[in-house]
Amino acid sequence: MTMPATVINEDNAATSTVHGIFKVVLYGSSESSDMAGWTVTLKLNADAYGSDNVRDSNTPCKSVDGDPFTDDESVVSTGTNSFTFTCDGHLAATSVVVATTSYKDLAEIVVAGHVWSKYPCPAGKSSPTGTFSLVGVSESCQECAKGSYQDLAGQKFCRPSKYVLQTATDKEFSTYSDASSFSYTMAPSGTIHDVVVYNINFDDYSSTATSSSGTESAATGSCASTLAGYQDANCVKKIENAQVKLTADSVENPYNIEGTNDGTSRRDQTYTVKLSSELAGVTSVAFSQSFILAELLVYSAPTSTLTDKYNDEKGATAPKTCGASGFANAQFTACEMCPVGQEKKDEDGNIHCSNCEAGKYRAADFDGGCRDCEAGSISEATSGSCNKCEIGKKENGQRTDCTECEAGKVAKTEGSTECTACSAEGPLYYANSGNTACETCDEGKVPNVDQSGCKECPAGQYRDSEVTDCTDCPSPKYSTSAASPTCSVCEEGKKPNDDRTDCVECPVGHYRTTAETVCTQCKDDREYAAAGSPSCTQCQVGHVPNSDKSGCDPCPVGMYRGADDMKCLVCPAGENTEGKTGQEQCVKCPQGKETKTINGEEGLECVDCAVGFFSAVEGTATCVECVSPKVALTTGQSECVLCEPGMGWTSSSTCETCPAGKRSKDGLCVDCTFNEITKLEKQTECTRCEKHYHSIEGQSSCLKCDDPEPEKTMKDSTNELQWQKCVADLGPACEKQTVDGVYGTFVDIPFMRAGNEEVRECQFDPDPKPMATFKCEIVDEKTDSAKLVAHYDCIKTPNTGEIEKLATEPQGEITPEKTEEIANSLKDLTSTAGASSGIGDVEAAADVIGVIADAPNDVSEAATENLVSAVNSLAGGNLETEDMAKKEEISKKMVNNLKKIAQKTAVTNKLVKSANIAIMKVKPDTSEGAENKGYSFVLPDPKDLNKLDQSGGGGGSETQQPSIAIQSSSAAGMSVVLLTGDAFFPSEKTGKLPAGEPDSVTTELFADLEDDLGLDNGTETVKYVNSVVLEIDIGEQEPGFVLNLYIKPNFQVGDTSKNLKRIDDKRVQIRYQCAWYNDEKFEWVADGCDTIYDSNQPTGGVVCSCTHNTSFAVLMAAEEIDPGYIEVQSMLSRILLAGSIVGLIATIGLILPASAIVTTRSAKVNICFSIALLIASLLFFIQDFLIKDDNSGIIKLKSTGCIVYTMLQHYMWLVVFMWTIIEGFLMYLSLVQVFGSHISHYMIKFNALAYGVPIVFPLAGYFAFTRKVTVAGVEVVDHQYMAETMCFLKPGTINFYALFFGPLVLSIMVNLVFFFLVLKVIRSSKNSNLSDKEQLLRQLKAAVGVMVLLGTGWVIGVFMNVPAPGMQVSLQYVFIIVNASQGMFVFLFYVVLNDAVKNFWLEKFGLKTAAPKSGTGASTATNVYANASASGANKDAEHTYSSAAEFPAKRDDNANL
């Protein structure tokens, strides 16, 4: 359109309508027109509406900020004589003012614009309509918020800063397109926010030019210049119903095109498409309808989540761009930086943070891209900083890595880019292992070629501090190893080799000293010089020089050479070199060997004796053949032995099996004697023919005797022994026989009837000879059989004399060697005798042992072993003799001498043992706590001490519980002798323990008890040694000495189901008992030893705690555990207790409902007493049903249940005693003191006293008297609190007397005092209506009642320990009757004889009319301590008299007590 314009100077401006000016074009008059300095300004009147103009002032038309559509150029030359001024779209004008210095060059002015009715919002602002009104109602435009912008005028919105303009057309409006054929491709695809379409025609405008000649109007341009087919009445076809097509993900998305306004200051037609929501992934833009497309603006953002566009101020007209490492935040209001070690990358609009490459870095505070590390520093990818290369390395040039310095070079500082060669510092310098410094090579070394290290001078060379190169060692020196700083001198006998690398030995027969440099030959032919010898040497004994005299050869096996011998000699016969060469002398062959010449050699060797031969001594040249009846069945025997049992000698090397009719005896097969046979072969004993049968010698079967008088019919036809047996079978008699025993052989003991005897002199005893008596004794009355029994007063055996010689023959000084010789001889003599040893052998051996024990020297281990072996053989012999005094004397001597040997043996802390005896000497232990360590032993078989194993202190071995443990309160040393039985401890009061299984042994023991153990006649029962015997000697004992032993009995008595039995009317129990042997009285005694064992652990051991040291053992004995007539008393107790229980229940049940009675103090106390007595009686009564003495009851003996039951019974009887004291106290208050007897809260106090005080006693009893006894780590529980066969306190113990009997006696004494005081009141009470006899009877009744209620009947128990058995039994019955019936007496006096209770129940059942109540109340008549004058509330509260006036001292009712 054409707008009239006035061209004026600054002082002459014209007023006109307000217009929006788009362009002002100035045309010059010629091509040479000079327009320099020309200006175009716009002026807006003061009363006109405009935009950014200042009212009544000229505003330059030229755009201050430039125009994005004109490449920021506001003035463009449009030809040689024209200039175009593009005005700021925010300006309005009423006048256009062109100022120039000369108007003659101005040919024409063209102004393009339009009249504003509504002014478009300028860029950077928006409004709902995109405009604001210049007239009428003003519509304001709002600045775009931070994070958004608007670069176009007249817009209704501000777009987020991330959306930027895409170049879709040429932006100059110089090219027009048909929209239907136009397409814009998004490369890359993006997210579109809005699209702006322009449709315009520049030819539709008006222009006015003013010149000096006047006004000139002309029309420039026409619609014909536009595209054909697009003209209409308005010249240009406008857009109607067209759509923009946005293709995203191959899908077209159409959006309607709507005009935003009806022309602007720049364009006639503008159409904006703002998407309702952004569309991502758009790849192309097209149109659905034909129209002239002058310009297309597309505002899009890349598909990435990041963008570097932002606006941090309001009113922005274009987005700002973040720095090199920045990207916009989520609101596009500010920039954020990429993380450390990353930089921003823009790849086709895709903004992202990319890792810095290795060798580059970006710090956290740097707003820029990744930078190269400085020289000498490196970085990895994504680094925020660079690190200098460490010492010894240099940077690789790419700043990505530090590399090791080249060989021989170093980097001495961090951040090095080059390494320095060490050669520059000197010839001995080299680069160290880390290439951090140049160092000097050690002596013996020089730098290698590249100076990266040192190389060693080779062997034979050296380098010291004086030289810089390796030098050969001078002769006679050498260096054996590389890197030598010096050379060494060869030692004697050696010289340097040619290379000076080592010393070589002088050749054989040569030597070299330190003063010589060459080896010299030996000159003496008797000497030799081995290679490398410093001198010539003579061969040692047992050796001779070899052929080249380079060394010595040993003498061969079987030959020797002494110091004076010039050559090797053959050993003498019977000697050898034990298979060794080079011996100085020969040694004797051991027993069982002889010598012979070695095959192919000169020397002798020892070989085993052949079968049938033996050698008994060392150094035997030739073995000797065995003589009958002994044999050597294998080679290498040192002695000949008898054939095994059941076999006999046939030659020196063979045995035969004894056939039927024979047996083996002393190594030979011999015929069975008369009347004996063997039915089978290989028998050791012949079997006597059964009754009424006989046989001759060597028979396998018996013949029947003649009947009925064999003596007459067989005497002439048979041997005398045959008919004598037949006669003896008819009646008790002993046939003629030879007795072969320990004390010799007694030939032809004649035939005799039972009861007769034959006396013979002992064969080996000195005069006057003791006698051996052979009695024919009846052995079985049922079978009427007799046996010849030998009774020996003999002492010595056939072997005794030989043993005596060892002690009596002159022997000179007893040296250790002599001791061993004697001990070995004693062993040989006793082992030969074996079971034939007698008590005389023991005496002789004891003397021999005494000689050794009295010698000044210690007894060696070998001698100790031989002595132990000798005593072992003796202990297994037959030591019986009728001379008991002699046997006791001998046994004592043997035991004492054994103790001496145990003390003197050189073997310490080690067992020397055999089957029957073991010895150990214990060294003193002075370490801390030594007295608590002890020693323990495991013995699997108590009959074989060879199996005894010392397990040390602390509880035994890992697999077995110790069988024996010893612990002393003294840390001093001790000697211990252990024996399997009591062979050396004779006692007439101990018996021999039967053999067999436990049950059969127990049965036999009880059978013996019934017959022999004197339970009826008062004699002491027989005891049995039931363990290993320990002879312990600790020497001098300190005060308070205690020796604790733990010993497992040989025979386990088991629990009460096995070891307890009733014999007649008594209970007898087999028990363990610790005892020590009194060698003055020769008996086992228990005084001084406490026996501790847990009867609930039948397989456990016994602890013996003794106050001295001597011989100890665990005995087994039967004891009567319940004196008196137990069955009768038990039955009587049960009957009376049952009656008492019923009486107590009835008492409680009949008094409690009587409300008038039960509220009185006396009744309350009576009820409490009755309840306590009921509970105690019930517990005592039912224990017979719960607990059995054979441990078969519900509650097991010594169990936790039994402990609780015991404590409960103990506690309840003490409660009963307390209530009796309270009863007596109340009687005293009511009947004696009377005045001032009020007690507040009396029942609380009484119950607290009755139930509180006794609780201490059972607790103290259990915890104080149940303890664990530990011996060398082995524990045994000592139940001193409980009885063995019932769940009650253990009678006769300290805890019984202190915790039960003591409180009982105390309560009795207190109640006796109360009883006599009350009794005095009873006696003084009179009733005038009664006769003296009736009065006496009533007083007696009251006295008995008080006595029973106070429990004074328990006083009988105090006297039950009177020794006289008859009196004791009588007292037991009285005690049971009085105390077991206490509950019945309570019922009698509390109910039956209590008028108040009787009247209550008679009235209750209507059998009696209630008596009228009065102040004195008749109910007090029979109450032994009721207040007769109290009444009403005061009566229930006090029950006492407050003054003398109230006390009915002379009332007749008192006699009713």
Inform me whether the pLDDT recorded for 1382 exceeds 70: yes
Q: Which of 214-223, 622-631, 979-988, 1415-1424 has the lowest mean pLDDT?
A: 214-223
Quote the percentage of the chain above a pLDDT of 90: 19
Q: pLDDT value at position 1280? A: 73
Q: What is the pLDDT of residue 75?
A: 53
Which carries the bigger pLDDT value, residue 1422 or residue 477? 477
pLDDT of residue 654 exceeding 90, the answer is: yes
Poorest-pLDDT segment among 767-776, 1178-1187, 1447-1456: 1447-1456
920 conformational bin, left if phi > 0, alpha if psi -120 to 50, beta if neither: beta
pLDDT at 1352: 59
Per-residue H/E/C for 65-86:
CCCHHHCCCCEEEEECCEEEEE
Residue-wise pLDDT tens digits, 482-520: 999 999 989 888 888 888 888 888 888 888 888 888 888
Residue type, position 130, single letter = G
Long-range contacts of 1395-1400 (CB under 8 A, 24+ apart): 1395/1419, 1395/1421, 1395/1422, 1396/1154, 1396/1156, 1396/1157, 1396/1420, 1396/1421, 1396/1422, 1396/1423, 1397/1150, 1397/1151, 1397/1154, 1397/1157, 1400/1153, 1400/1154, 1400/1156, 1400/1157
Express each pLDDT in 1243-1286 by its tens digit.
Answer: 888 888 888 888 888 888 778 777 777 776 677 777 777 777 77
Give the residue-averaged pLDDT of 1010-1017: 50
What gap in Å lies between CA 840 and CA 795, rounded to an integer?
5
Specify the DSSP element, H or E, that contains 830: helix 816-833
**Cβ 327 vs Cβ 303: under 8 Å:** no
Cis peptide before 768 (omega within 30 of 0): yes
Helix (H) or strand (E) holding 630: strand 630-631
In angstroms, rounded to a whole number, what is the distance separating the alpha carbons of residues 1390 and 1384? 10
Range with lowest mean pLDDT among 74-88, 256-270, 886-900: 256-270
Confidence of residue 653 (pLDDT cuts 50, 70, 90): very high
pLDDT of 1425 above 50: no
Weakest mean pLDDT among 76-90, 352-366, 409-423, 1198-1212: 76-90
Measuring CA to CA, which residue among 590, 629, 617, 582 is closest to residue 606?
A: 590
With bands split at pLDDT 50, 70 and 90, how would you rate the model's confidence at 525?
A: low
Q: Give the count of alpha carbons within 13 A of 57, CB side only.
A: 6
The DSSP bridge pattern shows strands 95-99 and 39-43 to be: antiparallel
Instruction: Output the pLDDT for position 974.
Output: 82
pLDDT tens digits for 813-857?
788 888 888 889 888 888 877 778 888 999 999 999 998 888 888
Split at pLDDT 50, 70, 90, the class of 222 is very low
- DSSP conformation class of 1354: G
> In the prediction, which pLDDT does 66 show?
39
Per-residue pLDDT tens for 928-968? 665 566 788 888 888 888 888 876 444 434 456 788 888 87
Alpha-carbon distance of 476 to 1092, in angstroms, equals: 88
Which pLDDT tens digit goes with each residue over 1274-1295? 777 777 777 777 788 777 777 7
Instruction: Please check the confidence at residue 739 and state whether its pLDDT lies above 80.
Output: yes
**How many angstroms separate the CA atoms of 723 and 719, rounded?**
7
Look up tokens 């000195």; give the residue.
766
Distance from C-alpha of 825 to C-alpha of 843, rounded to nearest angstrom: 16
Would you call 869 exposed, middle or buried from its count of C-beta atoms within 10 A (0-12, 13-18, 19+)? buried
Q: What is the 3-state secondary structure (H, E, C) of 1229-1294?
A: HHHHHCECCCCCCHHHHHHHHHHHHHHHHHHHHHHHHEEEEEECCEEEEEECCECCCCCCECCCCH
Q: Tokens representing 441?
A: 């090579």
3-state SS assignment for residue 1178: helix
How many Cα atoms are found within 13 Å in the side-chain-facing hemisphere of 1287?
Answer: 29
pLDDT band of 1359, cuts 50, 70, 90 = low
Q: With contact defined as beta carbons under 8 Å apart, do 55 and 74 qualify?
A: no
Q: What is the pLDDT, as a whole number, of residue 1068? A: 73
CA 780 to chain centre: 66
Phi, psi of 554 (to 5 degrees): -70, 150
CA distances from 791 to 60, 762, 770, 776, 994 (A): 166, 11, 11, 11, 22
User: Binning pLDDT at 50, 70 and 90, where does residue 198 land?
Assistant: confident
pLDDT tens for residues 22-31?
777 777 777 7
Of 1419, 969, 1440, residue with least CA distance to 1242: 1440
pLDDT tens for 1186-1235 read: 877 667 778 877 788 888 888 898 898 889 888 888 877 777 777 666 55
Instruction: List, for residues 75-104, the tens digit of each pLDDT value.
Output: 555 555 677 777 766 677 778 888 776 677
Q: What's the pLDDT tens digit per position in 1318-1345?
A: 777 766 766 666 666 665 566 556 666 6
Q: 500 exposed, middle or buried (CB, 10 Å; 0-12, 13-18, 19+)?
A: buried
What is the per-residue pLDDT for 791? 92
Q: Which residue has the higher pLDDT, 33 or 287?
A: 287
At residue 70, the pLDDT reads 39
Q: Find the helix packing angle between 800-808 and 839-854, rounded to 10°.
A: 20
Q: Is the dihedral of CA 1446, 1452, 1453, 1456 positive or negative?
A: positive
**pLDDT above 60 for 206:** no
Q: Which phi and psi angles does 840 have, rounded to 5°? A: -65, -35
Average pLDDT for 1372-1387? 75
The predicted model gives 470-487 an average pLDDT of 88
Decide which of 74 and 1080 is more confident: 1080
> Mean pLDDT across the stretch 908-933?
79
Instruction: Round to the nearest angstrom and report the end-to-end CA distance of the chain.
Output: 152
Q: What is the 3 state secondary structure string of 966-997?
A: EEECCCCCEEEEEECCCCCCCCCCEECCCCCC
- Count of all residues that appear for the chain in the document: 1457
The residue whose two tokens read 């001791």 is 819
Asked if pLDDT for residue 1438 goes beyond 60, the answer is no
- Most distant pair of Cα atoms in the chain: their distance: 211
Average pLDDT of the chain is 78
Q: Which residue has the tokens 């009695």?
A: 775
Structure tokens at 56: 């009544």
- The predicted pLDDT at position 1430 comes to 37
Beta strands (DSSP E) in 659-756 are 662-665, 668-671, 676-677, 687-688, 693-694, 703-704, 733-734, 737-741, 744-749, 752-753
Average pLDDT over residues 661-675: 93
3 state SS for 1188-1199: CCCCCCCCCCCC
Give the whole-angstrom CA distance, residue 97 versus residue 113. 15
